[in-house]
A and B are shown apart, each in its own frame.
Chain A
């Protein structure tokens, strides 16, 4: 049993980190903004944390993580001011551009060894660190849910112009959520850097932020814990498919990729409100007359 836990210890850790990342995307989604900059924010957090640990090893881990969360949040503000005026897919594309620029910056920056990244980072992250961070994030987002700020965010999501007319400071709220999402992504980046011993630019590209978005949406954005559920499901899925494949005698290869895509498609098509809406769907089906 202990061996089983050891074998999948890293999987639990990645579930937690991905949950934080999915929640960081949710932070902006819940006020109706699709921001895809979070891979860039994650990179900023990861490199900040790694640089501090490698250059100043005596700094306590808590401060390192705080810096990892703070730097991206600070960057998010000047980014958000011009960019949050854009609607829908334009905002998404602008933020994708930002994310790519961050990645390319790290690829070209010799100080951090460019493509080779920073290695031999001591493993300061433990499972409980990730669990604690996730619990705090979920708690904060959960509290937001029924609060006045939460209602303001919902109003902005439903109809931004109306919300502004009602006196809600839309720009401030959107900016705050962008910064919050950036902080979450940076925190996740810092945690991951100190778990996987290294950081390198190619882990923070377009593919990464798409993963985060997919996990958030598949989990369901109606509930604040939805993205965490989605992250857990989609992080475990490739490993479950690996097991299934081994038992069925299938050789490892593109088949897992195909199934991943097919399952994602099925969820999007048939479960529009994500996995968290499953219990409600079952209840509805059960109540229908035979």
Chain B
């Protein structure tokens, strides 16, 4: 055997074992003592959506601990990775439905995966609670077993923009949005209509793709037209870079963002450039309500930075626990389905939560602004 071949195998084994060691340190999801409901969590833990999946897992695990400590029906969660692809999403759903025989499914992370996998749950009559799907169509209209606790952009943006205009009095806008991601594209569609309804003239519209990191060209074009405000529909990572680069380009005007901005990662990565950015969000991070404070404390205890994704995931578990309670502690699929229909004004980190008649989320959205490196409510 040549020298090269002799060395390559040991080197490879070294690499693999190095990764092995790190993995074993991680804890597995909590198991139930006996009885109780088994929930399947289909999350994107690898692939492009891994950032959100990781946050969601943290939120779910914290909530499960909280719920099980309360007494009543115990919850146990099986977490599976769908690798941000619809194929694995479908496989995971089938595993949950037919092998693990879960009572309900929470997730999946991406709207695209949801429109591929949810129909399976609908056909098998397994309730699904979406915690981050914001597409306007193709989620809850799949069927009556599909529910969601994530507000659609259409429920958040119009109110947020109206309030922003009251404060900032803008008449023209430059718009930048990510056109290759469902989250940001759906957000843009709503933003465009909201601006139109407010009588704001859009001076220029530019797009970017999620893997892009350089926005100088687009920002130069947009700011050259001198709009009153920059409107951005982006996820947290892109948002941080966009805002930084905008300030570097010399843009001193206001910046208005959507749901994707609502993350401490945004403030951390954008640094000083984040000051003054106004965001329409579905989670009021500075809410003093006990449900929210408990959520913040629990997540801090787990060493995770709370953000919108973890808040919505945490709330999802609370909603499922409430559904079980509403059906008298019974944990079958039909029981949870019936119980979900009875959830009303539940105290959650997102506020008082109910479902709309079409099983979409309903709670008060908020407008926040970054002040002194933290999100603060705009009254």
B-facing residues in A139-182 (Cβ within 8 Å): none
CB-based contact B20/A11 at 8 Å: no
A119 to chain B, nearest CB (A): 4
CB-nearest residue of chain A to B99: A7
Do residues A115 and B19 form an inter-chain contact, with CB atoms below 8 A? Answer: no
Residue pair A115, B180 in contact (C-beta under 8 Å): yes
Which chain B residues in 16-42 approach chain A with CB under 8 Å? 16, 19-20, 23-24, 26-28
| In-complex Cβ contact of A119 among B28, B99, B115 (8 A) | B115
Instruction: Please report the C-alpha to C-alpha distance between residue A73 and residue B292 in the assembled complex, in whole angstroms.
Output: 56
Partner of B111, one of A4, A116, A252, A269: A116
With contacts A6-B94, A7-B99, A196-B90 taken as known, whether A258 is within 8 angstroms of B16 at the C-beta atoms is: yes
Q: Find chain A residues with CB under 8 A from B142 CB.
A: 120
Q: Does A279 contact B (CB under 8 A)?
A: no
Q: At the interface, yes or no: B347 with Cβ under 8 Å from chain A? A: no
Whether, in the assembled complex, B235 has its beta carbon less than 8 Å from a beta carbon of chain A, the answer is: no
Please name all residues of chain B whose beta carbon is closer than 8 Å to the beta carbon of A259 when the two chains form the complex.
Answer: 16
Most buried by A among B97, B115, B135, B186: B115
Could you tell me the distance between the alpha carbons of A267 and B69 in the complex, rounded to whole angstroms?
A: 49
Answer whether residue A250 sits at the interface, using C-beta atoms and an 8 A cutoff: yes
Is A90 in contact with chain B by the CB < 8 A criterion?
A: no
A252 and chain B: residue at smallest CB distance: B81
The answer to whether B79 and A252 have CB atoms under 8 Å apart is yes
Chain A residues whose C-beta falls within 8 Å of the C-beta of B288 in the assembled complex = none
Question: Which partner residue on chain A sits nearest B86 by CB separation?
Answer: A196
Give CA–CA (A8, B116) in the complex, Å. 16
Chain A interface residue count: which class? 35 or more
Q: Cβ of B83 < 8 Å from any Cβ of A?
A: yes
Within 8 A of A (CB), among B78-117: 79-81, 83, 85-88, 90-91, 94-95, 97-99, 111-112, 115-116
**Partner pick for B23 among A10, A120, A238, A253, CB 8 A cutoff:** A253
Q: Which residues of chain B have C-beta atoms less than 8 A from A242's C-beta? A: 80-81
User: Which of A27-35, A47-55, A80-88, A200-208 forms part of the interface with chain B?
Assistant: A200-208
Near B by CB (< 8 A), chain A positions 233-259 give 238-239, 242, 249-259
Contacts A3-B99, A9-B94, A116-B186; A266 near B12 (Cβ below 8 A): yes
CB distance from A284 to the nearest CB of B (A): 16
- Whether, in the assembled complex, A262 has its beta carbon less than 8 Å from a beta carbon of chain B, the answer is yes
Asked whether any CB of chain A lies closer than 8 Å to the CB of B294, the reply is no
Residue B340 CB within 8 A of the other chain:
no
Q: Mark B191-210, 1 if CB is under 8 A from A, else 0.
A: 00000000000000000010
| CB neighbours of A196 from chain B (8 A) | 86-87, 90, 116
Which residue of A10, A198, A202 contacts B138 across the interface (Cβ within 8 Å)? A198
Please determine whether B91 and A239 come into contact, CB atoms closer than 8 angstroms: yes
Write the nearest CB–CB distance from B243 to chain A, whole angstroms.
Answer: 22
Chain B residues numbered 144-192 whose CB sits less than 8 Å from any CB in chain A: 179-182, 185-186
> Do the beta carbons of A120 and B179 come within 8 Å of each other?
no
Q: Are B95 and A200 neighbours in the complex by a CB distance under 8 Å?
A: no
Q: Which residues does chain A contribute within 8 Å of B83, judged by CB atoms?
A: 238, 256-257
A107 interfacial by beta-carbon distance below 8 Å = yes
Interface size of B by Cβ–Cβ distance < 8 Å?
A: 47
Tell me, in angstroms, the Cα distance from A121 to B94 when the chains sit together: 19
Number of CB contacts from chain A to chain B under 8 A: 121
Contact string, B121-145, partner A, CB cutoff 8 A, digits 1/0? 0000000000000010110011000
**Are A10 and B90 in contact, with the CB atoms below 8 A?**
yes
Residues B94 and A202 in contact, CB atoms below 8 Å apart: no
Asked whether, in the complex, the Cβ of A7 is within 8 Å of the Cβ of B94, the reply is yes
Q: How far is the CB of A262 from chain B (nearest CB, A)?
A: 5
* B45 interfacial contact with A, CB 8 Å: yes
Nearest CB of B to A116, in Å? 5
Expressed in whole angstroms, the minimum distance between the Cβ of B254 and any Cβ of chain A is 27
The answer to whether A14 has its CB under 8 Å from any CB of chain B is yes
Contact (Cβ within 8 A) B85 A203? yes
Partner of A117, one of B94, B98, B112: B112
* A115 touching B46 in the complex, CB below 8 Å, given contacts A120-B142, A251-B27, A252-B79: no
In the complex, are the beta carbons of B185 and A262 less than 8 A apart?
A: no
Distance (Å) between the CB of A15 and the closest chain B CB? 11
**Residue in B86, B179, B185 with the greatest tally of chain A CB atoms within 10 Å:** B86
Q: In this assembly, does B15 line the interface, its C-beta being within 8 Å of a C-beta of chain A? A: yes
What are the 5 closest A-B residue pairs judged by CB atoms, nearest first?
A: A119-B138, A7-B98, A252-B81, A251-B26, A196-B116
Q: Which residues of A contact B (CB under 8 A)?
A: 3-4, 6-11, 14, 107-108, 114-117, 119-120, 123, 196-198, 200-203, 238-239, 242, 249-259, 262, 265-266, 269
18 A-B contacts, Cβ less than 8 Å apart? A4-B98, A6-B97, A7-B95, A7-B99, A10-B90, A10-B91, A14-B91, A107-B179, A108-B179, A114-B180, A115-B185, A116-B182, A196-B90, A198-B116, A202-B112, A242-B81, A249-B24, A251-B79
